[in-house]
Structure 1
Amino acid sequence: MRLDSYVVTETTTTASGAEEALPAAVLWDMDGTLVDTEPYWQESQVRLVAEHGGTWSREDGDSLIGSGLWHSARVLQEHGVKLSEQEIIDRMTDDVLVSVREHLPWRPGARELLRSVRDAGIPTALVTMSIRRMADFIASAIDFDAFDVVIAGDEVEHAKPHPDPYLRAASALGVDVASCIAIEDSPTGLASALAAGATAIGVEHHAPLPTDGAFVHRRSLEGVALDDLRDILRTGRALAALPEGDA
């Protein structure tokens, strides 16, 4: 798809007379944000550790939400899994793909907002620490052309919370990351998006989010519309401009 076909010019006028633009792009996390696959990953982790004689708690699984799979694999090895990092990643990915082929649980409001963004001509990227074959499966399961760019965990030098994934997404779209909105569900993902310079929406789900971060906190994406994205972009920029510790 040609990225230069997307030129977002729609604006709204504030009380001061200034024009307020839509984001240059919307950058989406996948697991836990777009689709509720985190329980599938945790079920795979429990099985893997049990097969090697260990135990895996809900807290263990929650601690890995948003992390790169190579980091997760090393933690599983520390819990006694006697496989290589790549073998662990492939096994978990295979397990989760079996589950999502049976049932793909969308997060409330996520697909609807994504469709609104696409209908408005706003570029989008999927920015996930899942590997490419998982990301491509989820993207292909959407019944419209959802993403211009997919940034997968096996294609970045540094995983979240490093800013690299979001910087790569903005660069691939040809937009300034500071004019983008990133949507995340984990502290790790939010740290990545904010370090990159994006305005971030944190949609709390499995992992508790900080109460004092420089991001816009939402309980759900249900009912979020394009006008809300304008407001969120403005709010996010204001939070980013605050002295550290005042957000």
Structure 2
Amino acid sequence: MDGTIVDTEPYWMRAERELADEYSISWGPEDAVQLVGAALLHSAQVFQGRGVDLPAEVIIERLSSRVSDQIRQAVPWRPGARELLLDLRERGVPTALVTMSYREMAELVADSIGFPAFDAVISGDSVTHGKPHPEPYLHAASLLGVDPTECVALEDSPTGIASAVAAGMATIGIPAHVDLPHSTEYTLWPTLDGRSTGDLAAVLAASRTKEVNL
């Protein structure tokens, strides 16, 4: 979700910087980038390690609430994201939102899309292990009733890509705020703008061919 459907990473970075400033912690762009795509519990633990004397759940709630407030003011859609989701919906392709944001925020974004884009929502507070563990994507496939190898995952961070690849899904990386290196494990797209269900099907077909060749 964050960085793939909506460009909320600047919102998260602002919330993190505000929390760091409150505790007089040095916090720069390089610190914020390290948290992109990570489970919120991990982010909370990083802040605790830097001197924020608050329970992890309080840190998570403060960051999430601040980001949600910003989303309510303006939803920063990524180019082509809603259009691709609409194409998938019109063609009857099952879809799941897999995010490390908590459910309240995930549903806030999903409800803002303007149509029922997702058949399932997997949030950071609905799994035991967050990304890069494969559990979030395996759980998504289970809820959709499909084999993970029949799925295509769209991700913007190394952490998210690692999760999807480990789950056995054909994976597409769309860089936002973190550079993604070229790799044989996933496909790179510069943007979702102009992409369609057919493009996703082509990536899935190429992934199957690669498995056969191996």
* Structure-1-length-normalised TM-score: 0.84
Cα separation, 2, equivalents of 1:229 and 1:50: 42
User: How is 1:228-243 mapped onto 2 (pairs within 5 angstroms)?
Assistant: 228-239=199-210
**Are residues 1:108 and 2:92 paired?**
no
Cα separation, 1, equivalents of 2:146 and 2:98: 15
Q: CA contact under 8 A between 1:64 and 1:72: conserved in structure 2?
A: yes
Given residue 149 of structure 1, which amino acid in structure 2 is its aligned partner?
A: A
Cα separation, 2, equivalents of 1:238 and 1:217: 17
- Choose which of 171, 185, 193 in structure 2 pairs with 1:222: 193
User: CA, structure 1 residues 70+225, in 2 after alignment: closer, same or farther (shift >3 Å)?
Assistant: same
Given residue 32 of structure 1, which amino acid in structure 2 is its aligned partner?
A: G
- Following superposition, the deviation at residue 240 of structure 1 comes to 5.0
Q: CA contact under 8 A between 1:53 and 1:80: conserved in structure 2?
A: no
- Structure richer in helix, relative to its length: 2
Select the structure with the greater relative contact order (CA < 8 A; seq sep ≥ 6).
Answer: 1
Moved more, 69-78 or 225-234: 225-234
Moved more, 205-214 or 126-135: 205-214
- Following superposition, the deviation at residue 187 of structure 1 comes to 0.4
User: How is 1:86-105 mapped onto 2 (pairs within 5 angstroms)?
Assistant: 86-105=57-76
- Following superposition, the deviation at residue 35 of structure 1 comes to 0.4
Given residue 110 of structure 1, which amino acid in structure 2 is its aligned partner?
A: A
Residue 3 of structure 2 is matched in structure 1 by 32
- Choose which of 120, 142, 157 in structure 2 pairs with 1:171: 142
SS of 2:58's partner is: helix
SS of 1:139's partner is: helix
Identity of aligned residues (%): 50
User: How is 1:1-247 mapped onto 2 (pairs within 5 angstroms)?
Assistant: 30-239=1-210
- Structure richer in strand, relative to its length: 1
User: CA, structure 1 residues 108+125, in 2 after alignment: closer, same or farther (shift >3 Å)?
Assistant: same
Q: Deviations over 1:184-239 (max 9, x none)?
A: 00000000000001100100110111222411100000111122112111223344
Given residue 88 of structure 2, which amino acid in structure 1 is its aligned partner?
A: V
Cα separation, 2, equivalents of 1:204 and 1:65: 11
Residues matched between the structures, number:
214
Q: Deviations over 1:19-60 (max 9, x none)?
A: xxxxxxxxxxx0000000000001010010110111111011
Residue 16 of structure 1 is matched in structure 2 by none
* Structure-2-length-normalised TM-score: 0.97
- Following superposition, the deviation at residue 171 of structure 1 comes to 0.2
Q: CA contact under 8 A between 1:31 and 1:128: conserved in structure 2?
A: yes
Cα separation, 1, equivalents of 2:75 and 2:196: 23
SS of 2:42's partner is: helix
Given residue 96 of structure 1, which amino acid in structure 2 is its aligned partner?
A: V
Cα separation, 2, equivalents of 1:168 and 1:91: 27
SS of 1:82's partner is: coil
Given residue 62 of structure 1, which amino acid in structure 2 is its aligned partner?
A: V
Q: Show structure 1 runs of 5+ residues with no match.
A: 1-29
SS of 2:16's partner is: helix
Cα separation, 1, equivalents of 2:64 and 2:209: 39
Cα separation, 2, equivalents of 1:85 and 1:242: 46
Q: CA contact under 8 A between 1:49 and 1:80: conserved in structure 2?
A: no
Given residue 150 of structure 1, which amino acid in structure 2 is its aligned partner?
A: V
